[in-house]
Structure 1
Amino acid sequence: MWVIQMDINDIESKVKMISKFLSKESIDDNYEDIKQTVSEIITPTIISYVEIDRLFLFRARKLNALINFDNLSAQDIFMPPAELTEMGRGNMKRKPVLYAALDPVTAINETGIKENDYFLLGCFELLENGGSHSKERTCVIGITKNDKKEDPIMRIAQGISSNFLYTEFTREITKWNKNRYYISNAIVDHLFNKMNFRSVIYPSVINNKRLNILLNEQAASDRLAFGYMYVCKMLEVNGTQFKAHIYKSLDDTTTKNELKWRKLDNQRLFTYKSEGPKDQVEVIKKRMCKHFE
């Protein structure tokens, strides 16, 4: 059995130490210190993960106006090029990752799409590796699965670490606290570079009961299959459902291994209603394993 020696007070003090790094003027110079401290918080505890063989991911993108459909492609709903990539919750500037939601309502709400907005809605499928039949090993933040057999000290340490991860990934970011992105980036850096994950499932900021996922470039390239992309105009939207006109659809035409546009009637409606991804959360929770460093 893996035995982990830890000092709970030490972990708590390191969590508090993070804020001190953010208050310094030259935050970029302190990023290595932030990464080191984050690693020291995560390392003594247990990280949960799930092995995924198939999962549908959704991305949305607001359009400024109804543009020429023929100039659009599947790339317009994929991750942005490095030169256009700004710092985000799980990526540094010019270091793109692919962000997606596990349901289309969350993708739309997080993008800030409102009534009468034109937007793109894309669906991708996360598949197992066709050659090796291996499943994508994905870190899970925000879904707990307690084991009563665990040592009490270990459970406390895991609780501190889990709360730290959950707080940073669900924290609302404004122009006043953008420095918090350095912390969530340091977490992702540890998960990717020290624990060899390539993807992370985490709660949505808009609704913590819904889930997002981020994948690094290699995982997105290896595992994602394009499903469809709709060009839409929003008619109604709220926290659990939306209704939109579909103007055009780009689908994967598997017979010729190419993508083709399908012209649609402007009155065609797309309605999606969801009370929340309870089933998928339960599936993920049942499949979760624990990674010991």
Structure 2
Amino acid sequence: MTTNIDNFADIDTVKLAIQKFQEIGWPSFNETDNIDEFVEKITKQITDELGKFPNYLMPLKPKNFPFGIFRVREMTEGTNFDLYAEHSYPPVAFTKLGRCNFPKHPVFYASNNPITALSEVVRNEEFKGKKFCISSWEIIKSNDTFIFENFLQTSLHPKNHFAVLAKALVNRVNKPFDLKLPEEQTQGIVEFLKYIDSQFISDENYSFSASLAHRRIYGKHNFCTDILMYPSVQTLMQGVNLAINPNFVDNHMRVKRFYVIEIQSFDRQSGKFTITFHKYGEIKKNVIFWKKIHPEDKLYQKYVKLDFKSFISDDFKFDFIK
């Protein structure tokens, strides 16, 4: 990020620009549009009013990323769930416009825990009689550095533990400037980030949010974002989602295990699920072995306690149904 102080607007200028953005609105993407030109159009609309576009990036090593990575797919006939690819990001030809991507430009959507991932797939649709496969992933341990970025400067739920990341970003806004950025401009950057991140979440047709994510994940430079974190709308901001660069997934991630579950009940307000586990998948020498659930399987119990630890109490007991 450039550190030229003159390139960043003060708080009053930012507020006036936000008012103008709200009056004008943002362009809507059409599948006939050139993606790079569309993204540049939105970027220019912002920078014409505010100067440079600040992005606060966190270079991390795998050992410094302790969060879980979970994906969910509905179990459908004709799909070969023995292939890792069926649990990963979609093929280019089947990729549609999403919150963090444009058509034919896939990203690996995931969540930090299995329940948030399940919420994102179920949404408001009927879930009775359907089975879902939860996959647990990890970043392969190495000394390589990857780029992490978050869009959390918005109204998070009090239960969202990632609010600490949002606060940490605000506290280091002035750091790239060696603490020489005037207070008015520091406040301006914070106000700008809050507005952009809130728009990222409230964008119902995904044109604006996809542009913000695309310019970071598919950027043509050496500081592209590998993992982008943003609040989960489906959990009412209680959880977070991840949009991950497909090349990063292919080179630096692997799937660990799977669970086939069925939802019995779901309270969207509290985020509580009642689920039945039908089987789980363990990987041995690149083969997924699907195992039925039974009371003597201590490995299954270990995995559930590890992957669902945020949602089970210390006195939790397994209930097996014959």
Range into which the TM-score falls when normalised by the shorter chain: 0.7 to 0.9
The verdict on how the C-alpha distance between 1:252 and 1:72 changes in structure 2, with shifts beyond 3 A counting, is closer
> Which structure's residues are more often strand, by fraction?
1
* 2:98 maps to 1:88: yes
Distance in structure 2 (CA, Å) of the matches to 1:126 and 1:14: 40
Distance in structure 1 (CA, Å) of the matches to 2:215 and 2:167: 20
Which of 3, 6, 9 is the equivalent residue of 1:7?
Answer: 9
SS of the residue aligned with 2:193? helix
Unaligned runs of 5+ residues in structure 1 are 277-293
Unaligned runs of 5+ residues in structure 2 are 153-165, 313-322
Calculate the TM-score normalised by the size of structure 1.
0.74
Distance in structure 1 (CA, Å) of the matches to 2:197 and 2:52: 16
Calculate the TM-score normalised by the size of structure 2.
0.68
CA contact (8 A) 2:9 2:185 kept: no
Letter in 2 for 1:158: I
- Residue 190 of structure 1 corresponds to 215
Distance in structure 2 (CA, Å) of the matches to 1:241 and 1:82: 34
Distance in structure 2 (CA, Å) of the matches to 1:160 and 1:2: 18
* 2:71 maps to 1:59: yes
- Residue 121 of structure 1 corresponds to 134
Percent identity of equivalent pairs: 16
Letter in 2 for 1:118: K
The verdict on how the C-alpha distance between 1:23 and 1:13 changes in structure 2, with shifts beyond 3 A counting, is farther
Deviation at 1:230, TM superposition (A): 1.8
Question: Number of residues paired by the alignment?
Answer: 262
Cα shift readout 1:52-80 (whole Å, capped 9, x = no counterpart):
5244201112235xx47865432222111
CA contact (8 A) 1:74 1:250 kept: no
**135-144 vs 113-122, which deviates more?**
113-122
Letter in 2 for 1:58: F
- Residue 73 of structure 1 corresponds to 83
The verdict on how the C-alpha distance between 1:156 and 1:79 changes in structure 2, with shifts beyond 3 A counting, is same
* 2:53 maps to 1:28: no
Please report the RMSD computed on the Cα atoms of aligned residues, expressed in angstroms. 3.5
Deviation at 1:123, TM superposition (A): 0.8
Alignment of 1:103-252 (within 5 A): 103-112=113-122, 114-128=127-141, 130=142, 133-142=143-152, 143-145=166-168, 146-147=170-171, 149=179, 151-171=182-202, 173=204, 178=205, 181-192=206-217, 193=219, 195-206=223-234, 207-238=236-267, 239-252=270-283
**43-52 vs 150-159, which deviates more?**
43-52
